[in-house]
Structure 1
Amino acid sequence: MMRVSVTLALLCVSVTLSARREDDVLELRDEDFNYLTTEHETMLVMFYAPWCGHCKKLAPDFSKAASGLKGSVQLAKVDCTANPDTCKGFGASAYPLLKILRNGVDTGTYDGPRTAVGMVHYMKKQAGPDSVLLATEENMQVFINNYEASIVGFFQPNSAGLAEYLKIAAQLRDQFRFAHSSHPTLGQQKFEDDSVRYEGHVTVVAIRRFIRDNLFGLCPHLTRENKERLRVQDLLTVYYDLDYRLNPTGSKYWRNRVMKVVSRYSSQGLSFAVANKNDFLSELEEDFGLGMSEVSELPLVTIQTRLGHKFTMREEFTRDGSSLERFLDDYFAGLLKRYIKSQSIPENNNSPVKVVVAESFEDVVNQPDKDVLLQFFSPRCPHCKKLLRCSGFSDHLLHSSRKKGSAH
């Protein structure tokens, strides 16, 4: 009788604490929230209201993301109209509210994309610990054998420095990969070749600055994902068929040619990168005037400054790097002409109202010894057409200037 009583008691507890599941999404309630969330290392929870239109719109993508993340990240939801205590504890007053939990602890609001693909991509980076513990050389090689930058800290177990480092990893895990070890000899030879060491006092501010200044190295791989971070500085980029997975030999060959040259200019305030030209074809054409006919097997070279000035290397890239060296010498000497997307300068421009295009703007308008009244117009605008004719501007010239980049 005693054995039966215990069994029934356990069964009752099991039934009470089980959550409803719709597809791969758990439906959590006030009575089981704290218990069930602690069972999952990483969880994304949506706090919602059934009447909320935004919640209804998000629901299908949330369900698809749950299936895509099955086995790595658990997705769950809480109906705040039926479970006010839990929702109040998380400050859920506007819906939907998405929170990331680790072992039941709130680690912050989810601020990633709200599509199924976006949530899967974002939350995969959230899965697992903030910093991976590396115990063997094999662990080290597996971790650093990655196309994203890897940050590894070496500390004594339970040291104050390790505690600070883990805080940094938690704050920056969305941007970088972190690991730590108590074995300072792991990966030693690899690190002598490919890393920069930090040996100062470990603080959040110091490590953030160290990562910012050293993460990308002398000549990193520019991608669509990291381009905004790299382009906060004046940047020379060499574009070619860069693919470290499918063509590692060719990718390294051209990067080595670039490194041989740019290493001599590393202290002059210009940063350097290499990129897969196929990832930036439209940008090369729109921003630098390098059309498809100019895209060859040889690398293309551009410079883009923080002020938005653009330069292109028109000379063919030579394998000995001499053309790149001449391009850099001319850039630092101020001899390069900026690339400006512009209509051609008119051959006949003797009318009282001059035609100004982007390429002639500085020469015609920005003169210190004269005042200029300038009209910016659109050829499709009827008011512009009327004003131009009133000013004596011929219909012929108006029609001939129907391209971007002209002003009068």
Structure 2
Amino acid sequence: MRFQSLLSTASMLAFVGLAAAEGASDVIDLNPSNFQSLVNPESLMLVEFFAPWCGHCKALAPEYEQAASALKEKSIKLAKVNCVDEADLCQAHGVQGYPTLKVFRDGEPTDYTGPRKADGIVSYMTKQALPAVTDVTAENHEDFKKADRVVVVLYATSTSAAPVPEFSLTANKHRDDFLFGLTTDSAVSDAAGVSPPAIVVYRQFDEPQTEYPYPVGSATVKDIEDWVKELAIPIVDEVGAENYQTYAQSGKPLAYLFLDPTMENKQEYIGGIRPTAAKYKGKINFVWIDGIKFGDHARALNLPEQKWPAFVIQDLAKQLKYPMDQSEEYSSEAVAEWVEKFANGELQPQLKSQPIPETQDEPVFNLVGKQFDEVIFDDSKDVFVEFYASWCGHCKRLKPTWDTLAEKFVEVKDRLLIPLLLVISAKMEATENDLPPSVPFRISGFPTLKFKPAGSKEFLDYDGDRSLESLVAFVEEHAINPLDASVPIQNASHEEVHGHDEL
């Protein structure tokens, strides 16, 4: 394994100015006549498929140019295809949206899953160019430790001794995420101040050097990756589109400090929550976020006012929100108390809900968050519920069929309820209602149709086509209550009951 000499991303990007000043471009233009001849011979190339009218493409363009100039120093080429001019070429490569980025190795493509900023592109492609585990020597040791935000080095006695096999498997699994290095040179271990075998994580934030604290010889892939992932998240960092997935994938609650980034005392507010963030490191992730740019996200987290600073904790696994009252004076002490209450299970989530409708005059029951438990978990009723979003085109097309379905069963509405519920979108756009914590699922797409049989807590997913005939057949198959109004129903105690007023 060979280590290609690495400069820090910041240092490399400093060289880009000259090319930009001269109007030169280091991004290669591809078309059908040169695509194979330029792409296939390269061991590594990044290709962007774009449309000139695409706003996201326009935003990416300067970042892509900057990354191309920086990566030129590493002999890594970046190219682009104009999908308006070369529609057939883009279609041949399965391009369905813009921009689409693909990594080509000897002509074989894989999806690019990295950031869309210059430094992120440089970091991602640098990892792609290196072997999963790089040879670390006395000559490159210092440069390698600083080559990325998170670098993992195994100081070993030999390439066959534990935990080298598990370490190598970890590196292959996470080569897109972190840089991994291995050395068996005792002089390098001495320079690092460690006794092999030892695994050390080097970071460009928080504590710069952290050694694996458990017996290294018995470390498994899961042990190593869990430890590195935990260290890869700063105590407090800015969150945005580039790194949100890191937090989302961690599964831990996410504590947001919303700020106006132009305020003079911004760093004081960030520093104020740092002790609390350090105290709960590993249990709750802490970030600060641009409240001006991401005001819609603040409202989705039940922070209705454009008033900063503001603080909220989101349980990502359950999609529950715990915002601090914006009418109260903000302080880091209040944040510490709020977090402690959350950690101790003493807070109730704040659920967004529309007002309860004064009347229910339509065949379809208009369900809101405040009534969810009362209506959905009524054991006497079968419930077929549509979760929809007002902006969803598929939901709009389903509406007349859903209305007809409700009309078909209107005579048994005392025993079969067909409601709708407007919920928060998977894209985090604010709507009108939150699901309560009693619900054993979350909504990730629209429309979502679920059926809860009478007397049961189980929800059945509807995955069939959205024709009236299929929906009716599904109801008839799964309903517990008789769908003939002349047949009496029985409650959970098997006592005969008769129709009652609709909720």
Q: TM-score range by the shorter chain?
A: 0.5 to 0.7
Taking the TM superposition and a 5 Å limit, the aligned residue runs for 1:216-231 are: 216=233, 218-219=235-236, 221-231=238-248
Residue 255 of structure 2 aligns with which residue? Answer: 237
Residue 275 of structure 2 aligns with which residue? Answer: 260
CA distance in 2, matches of 1:317, 1:236: 22
Residue 298 of structure 2 aligns with which residue? Answer: 284
Deviation, structure 1 residue 343 = 1.7
Aligned length: 320
CA distance in 1, matches of 2:278, 2:78: 51
1:334-382 deviation per Cα after TM superposition (whole angstroms, max 9, x unaligned): 4413323x32223x358798753122211343245x4365665999745
Residue 153 of structure 1 aligns with which residue? Answer: 154
TM-align CA RMSD: 5.6
Q: Which runs of 5+ in 1 are unaligned?
A: 1-20, 47-60, 78-93, 394-400
1:228 match: secondary structure: helix
1:139 match: secondary structure: helix
Residue 317 of structure 2 aligns with which residue? Answer: 306
What code does the residue aligned with 2:296 have? S
- Kept in 1: contact 2:258–2:288 (CA 8 A): yes
Of 325, 332, 356, 2:337 maps to 325
CA distance in 2, matches of 1:382, 1:76: 49
1:275-320 deviation per Cα after TM superposition (whole angstroms, max 9, x unaligned): 32356433332x32334x3342x14322223122233222546334
CA distance in 1, matches of 2:163, 2:409: 75
Taking the TM superposition and a 5 Å limit, the aligned residue runs for 1:60-209 are: 70-74=72-76, 99-100=104-105, 110-112=110-112, 122-128=124-130, 130=132, 131=134, 133=136, 135=138, 139=142, 143-144=145-146, 148-155=149-156, 160=161, 164=165, 165=167, 168-179=170-181, 182-186=188-192, 193-198=207-212, 200-201=216-217, 204-209=221-226
CA distance in 2, matches of 1:173, 1:95: 25
* Residue 273, structure 1, aligned to residue 289, structure 2: no
Of 356, 360, 371, 1:360 maps to 371
CA distance in 2, matches of 1:117, 1:27: 28
Q: Which runs of 5+ in 2 are unaligned?
A: 1-27, 48-60, 80-91, 95-101, 195-201, 414-421, 423-430, 435-501
1:17-43 deviation per Cα after TM superposition (whole angstroms, max 9, x unaligned): xxxx998978389xxx9xxx6xx8x53
2:211 match: secondary structure: coil
Check 1:361–1:194 CA distance in 2 against 1; reply closer, same or farther (3 A cut): same
- Kept in 1: contact 2:276–2:336 (CA 8 A): yes
- Kept in 2: contact 1:28–1:76 (CA 8 A): no
Deviation, structure 1 residue 175 = 0.9
TM-score normalised by L of structure 1: 0.55
CA distance in 1, matches of 2:208, 2:77: 38
- Kept in 2: contact 1:149–1:177 (CA 8 A): yes
Deviation, structure 1 residue 271 = 1.8
What code does the residue aligned with 2:286 have? A
1:333 match: secondary structure: coil
2:271 match: secondary structure: helix
2:285 match: secondary structure: strand
What code does the residue aligned with 2:295 have? L
Deviation, structure 1 residue 273 = 1.8
State the identity %: 15
Which protein is bigger by CA-based radius of gyration?
1
What code does the residue aligned with 1:235 have? P
1:65-85 deviation per Cα after TM superposition (whole angstroms, max 9, x unaligned): 9976544345599xxxxxxxx
1:306 match: secondary structure: coil
What code does the residue aligned with 1:261 have? T
